[in-house]
Chains A and B, each alone.
Chain A
Amino acid sequence: MAAQATVSSAPPRRRRFNRDRLTAILMILPSLIFIAIFVYGFIAQTGYTSLTDSNALQQLSRLPANFIGFSNYNDMINGTLNERFRTDMVNTVFFTVLFIVTCLVLGIGLAILLDQKVKGESIFRTIFLFPMALSFVVTGVVWKWLFNPTSGLNALPTLIGLPRGEFRWFISQESTLNFFWQDVPTILGFAVAAILVLAAVYFWIKKRSMVAAFVMAGGLLLVALVTFGDPNSLITLERPEQKGFNLALIALVVAAAWQMSGYTMAMYLAGLRGIPEELREAARVDGASEFGVYLRVVLPLLAPITLSAMIILGHISLKIFDLAYTMGGGDNLFIDMPGLNMYFLTFRGQDFARGATVAMVMLVMVAFVIVPYLITQLRGEKSL
């Protein structure tokens, strides 16, 4: 905005600029109004609904919803009945991390392989990209058959005389990395502190700025608080509730990564093609091995692509619904996701308020992924 203002103060072009500007405003006004109503207006309404006790009976009886503050949120975190929500939170974190890592690794691997000027590259590219054209529903159904514990992938080894696979895939009830829901504040506290400390070290090495000292102090303070305070008392749920990484999520990750890694590959491939050959040549002339070229020249240049890919994959995995629904039939808690819970609370349970609460939590999680990205984007535009 500031940059535009200085331009518009140039006197000779003032009138013409104003007309342009008027046209521009008129052009974007309709979409602004519609987005304001149909996106932000409804987000606000969902947010308000989550603070009430709205449900189908009340609405159909034309009764007003009562404002009950944040008690729905408290109920989600501490209420004995909302174990499903808490399981979903843990599931979605594990799923998101695994899904993103798998897609990035597979995507960059495939892209580098395709970048070796292989014959019939476009055919391979199409093959790898093809799963993305499918709906997650199709992927879910197909992989549900493939993962059938008695007849699917598990039966493959028997073809060559090996014993049948034992892993139960999406119906596995095993879990590892177990912890209790009551430990979550401690775990979150240490996680945030670790991020702060790492950020401080980064700032210190890169810029030697004083910011580093503040961030480091904040991180250490948090560590002290978590260690000597009693963060677990934040959770008032009495019954110890075990959570963990459900191995059944592996099935979900495989199916989702099968679908999206081709897309990640396409992004990386575009990035690789954007790197001038001279840069690689220069590195080779300087005596770098082919591996070294990728490690020290190509990968750092692909960092922005990785960021974009993480954002896109991240918001897909946080909002995932159809894949888990078709694979788990809706009520398999070992691969359950918040989107399913929201749908069932709202439409099967007809509890609009709690459904809206889950929706708002999902929005906040996605915002954690999207907003930093938007900020860096906006900053980038300004500096241009």
Chain B
Amino acid sequence: MKFRKLAALGVTAAAALGIFGAVTAQDALSGDLEIFSWWTGGGEAAGLEALIASFTETNPGVNIINSAVAGGSGVNARAVLTTRMLGGDPPDTFQVHAGAELNDLWVRAGLMEPLNDIFEANGWMEQYPQGLLDLISDDAGNIYSVPVNIHRSNVLWYVPGNLEEWGVTVPANWSEFVDTTCPALQAAGVTPLAVGENWTQAHLWESVALAELGVDGYNGLWSGATSWTSPEAVGVWETFGQVLACSNDDRNALSWQDASRQVADGEAAFNIMGDWAAGYFLVDLALEPGTGFSWAASPGTDGTFMMLSDTFGLPVGAPNATNVRAWLTFLGSAEAQDIFNPLKGSLPANTTADIGNAELYNAYFQDAYADWTGNAIVGSQAHGAVASPAFTNGFSGIIASYGADGDASSAAANTATLALQTGIGG
């Protein structure tokens, strides 16, 4: 009698607990969710806020902690993140660039949880392009992060009316730029190419390298198939030097906005910058796409889309893993990507997003999306897709030295040493 009563009670309790447990897992999440990023200003911070607001609406029980660290375009944030991960105090989820920055550090150290179940449960394996999935997976096919957006690195910006006035056209490749476009513009008293501080020079370098080496040659730099000291690779540095000679000489005084602004102000003809510049032209400078400013693939890279992508992952030992999984499921959905990307000014990574909606995505992004789905895709070096942070740091030193002495063969040899030292192409 007594035993039965107890057992019944136990069963009831278990059932109640089970139901309750199911409720907490699916409908009523609770507890904290710490989101770590370097999105502290402008459209990207607004986008993150909007995402958080939307997530909190459906999950009112979750207390979201937005730990964004400002400064140094992510350098400070990554320093804090490394310290926290070393100290065994990981945030629940953190921002990381797809590619080498994710794979060569966090995945290789075994600190990320595979997220294949989320991708499979939501049909994302078909909704995300294979080239992007490759950047966030290891060789065994484990996927480690959820991409939120796509940026394009190899974009040439200009003002169509100004080019007409100066009598030049968009150069098809770098030799045309150096031999024809550049002298014509210099004769007209216009800076042919506006370039800013060190990292924007590295950003220019990758566009030049892609144009000179082609897709296979460029990818070969990172896989080891292209030698850094080959005549072609030295040639990249030589072309880069000729291109720099066509640029403003106060490079080190300018931020990327300053350089882009020179194009809008008519002081310079062209600028090569990632497509976050579209948001700057559109919102900050209030120019109309197509007339006030226009764009093309950087010279010699037509048909190739050099990409970078911000992603969020789940570190091993995250205190609120259940909440993170719910957050990542939301983050990868077309709905969330349509909230975030119009504000940040980037392409949605999920192909089922509402890209055709002209209210959300402006003319630039309509155009870029066609390239994203139709072009060959390569990863950006300056933004962590193909090279580790150690390489990127050393490379900025080589760019700076090259800016001072213009010695192409020494720059090529130093890059080869750096690649060897940091395990690139090995």
Enumerate chain A interface residues (CB-CB to B < 8 A): 55-57, 59-61, 80-81, 83-84, 144, 148-150, 168, 170-171, 173, 239, 242, 328-334, 336, 344-351
Instruction: Check if B76 is an interface residue, CB within 8 A of chain A.
Output: yes
Residues on B with beta carbons closer than 8 Å to the beta carbon of A59: 86
B75 & A348 in contact (Cβ 8 Å cutoff): yes
A347 & B199 in contact (Cβ 8 Å cutoff): no
Give 13 pairs: A residue, B residue, CB < 8 Å, sorted on A.
Answer: A57-B108, A61-B109, A81-B398, A173-B249, A329-B198, A330-B72, A331-B400, A332-B252, A344-B393, A348-B396, A350-B82, A351-B390, A351-B393
Residues on B with beta carbons closer than 8 Å to the beta carbon of A351: 390, 393
Instruction: Check if B330 is an interface residue, CB within 8 A of chain A.
Output: no
A168 to B251, CA, bound (A): 11
A349 & B393 in contact (Cβ 8 Å cutoff): yes
Additional pairs, 20, CB under 8 Å, beyond known A84-B397, A332-B252, A351-B393 = A59-B86, A60-B82, A61-B110, A80-B414, A81-B398, A81-B418, A144-B253, A148-B253, A168-B250, A170-B253, A173-B249, A173-B404, A329-B255, A331-B198, A331-B252, A333-B401, A345-B393, A348-B396, A350-B78, A350-B389
Residues on B with beta carbons closer than 8 Å to the beta carbon of A350: 78, 82, 105, 389-390, 393
| Prevailing SS type, chain B contact patch | helix
Q: Which of A57, A81, A171, A348 contacts B252 (CB 8 A)?
A: A171
Those of B99-134 within 8 Å (CB) of chain A: 104-106, 108-111
Closest CB in chain A relative to B90 CB, distance in Å? 11
Q: Which of B85, B198, B398 contacts A60 (CB 8 A)?
A: B85
Instruction: Check if B417 is an interface residue, CB within 8 A of chain A.
Output: yes
- Given the known inter-chain contacts A59-B86, A171-B252, please indicate yes or no for A334 contacting B404, CB distance below 8 A: yes
Of all chain A residues, the one with the shortest Cβ separation from B201 is: A331
A305 to B102, CA, bound (A): 54
Instruction: Check if B309 is an interface residue, CB within 8 A of chain A.
Output: no
Chain B interface residue count, Cβ-Cβ cutoff 8 angstroms:
44
Q: Which of A149, A242, A330, A349 contacts B253 (CB 8 A)?
A: A149
A348 & B393 in contact (Cβ 8 Å cutoff): yes
Instruction: Check if B141 is an interface residue, CB within 8 A of chain A.
Output: no
A173 to B197, CA, bound (A): 14
Top 4 closest A-B pairs, CB basis?
A: A349-B393, A331-B198, A60-B109, A347-B79
Instruction: Check if B52 is an interface residue, CB within 8 A of chain A.
Output: no
Of all chain B residues, the one with the shortest Cβ separation from A246 is: B404
Instruction: Check if B12 is an interface residue, CB within 8 A of chain A.
Output: no
A80 & B392 in contact (Cβ 8 Å cutoff): no
Instruction: Check if B413 is an interface residue, CB within 8 A of chain A.
Output: yes
A351 to B251, CA, bound (A): 28
Instruction: Check if B18 is an interface residue, CB within 8 A of chain A.
Output: no
Closest CB in chain B relative to A94 CB, distance in Å? 16
